[in-house]
Amino acid sequence: MATPHNSAEKGAFGKAVLMPGDPLRARFVAENFLENAELVNDVRGIQGYTGLYGGKRISVMASGMGMPSMGIYSYELFREYDVDCILRIGSAGSISDKVHVRDLVLGMGACTDSNYAHQYRLPGTFAPIADFDLLRAAAEEGEKLGVACHVGNLLSSDLFYDDDPDFAVKWAKMGVLAVEMEAAALYMNAARTGKKALAICTVSDHLFTGEALSSEERQLGFRQMILLALETARRFA
């Protein structure tokens, strides 16, 4: 059942998959949180592993950066590998004075400047949203773990370097909490395939204050987010 981007055999992935953007973070999760983790894909260095967590079969695979990359990998997992739910675990930049560095954000919705939805030829604007069951479960698991989670809108942007210096201010006026680059494509793929998706993001930097985590902290940290995602995934595995 190999695809141009995934060499795994059919059945190699669990029903629930965690998706960080960084392949090294996927390996970190597999080596530090999963039992008997097995590498099932390494095409183009996009590492995918399947192992056990709390007795449940769970997978973790990188998505790469940006909506085109997330669009490919999540679509293939949903459509070709019969994955039921994907939880994005990634970083985001806060644009809210209520959301601080190291805080967690559960993406109830994902605004976007992308044209990704154009493919569906809809007679209007599609609103990408998380699966409510996943969102509710994540919020409940956050309470059990004692992890404070902000719930609200993310901005999934195609641009890391935006030529408009005021873009973040404009989105912040609409109550958007943080900016990232993948959730909207994930949510649209889940909607199109009838599957479940949720983005759980750790705030790695604040666009207005300039506070930021190091690249090493981004790659190897985020333990609260990982544990929250795994506890949530276990309920759907």
Contact assessment for residue 18 and residue 229, using Cβ atoms and an 8 Å cutoff: yes
Q: Is 144 exposed, middle or buried (0-12, 13-18, 19+ CB in 10 A)?
A: exposed
Catalytic option among 84, 133, 158, 205: 205
Distances (CA, A) of 196 to 16, 77, 81, 121: 9, 12, 14, 22
133 in catalytic set = no
N-terminal to C-terminal alpha carbon distance within the chain? 21
The beta strands (E) that lie in 95-234 are given as 104-112, 149-156, 178-180, 196-206
Contact assessment for residue 42 and residue 74, using Cβ atoms and an 8 Å cutoff: no
Tell me the backbone φ, ψ of residue 30, rounded to 5 degrees.
Answer: -60, -45
**Count helices and strands in the chain by DSSP H and E runs:** 7, 9
Mode of pairing for the β-strands spanning 85-94 and 196-206: parallel
Catalytic residue numbers read 205
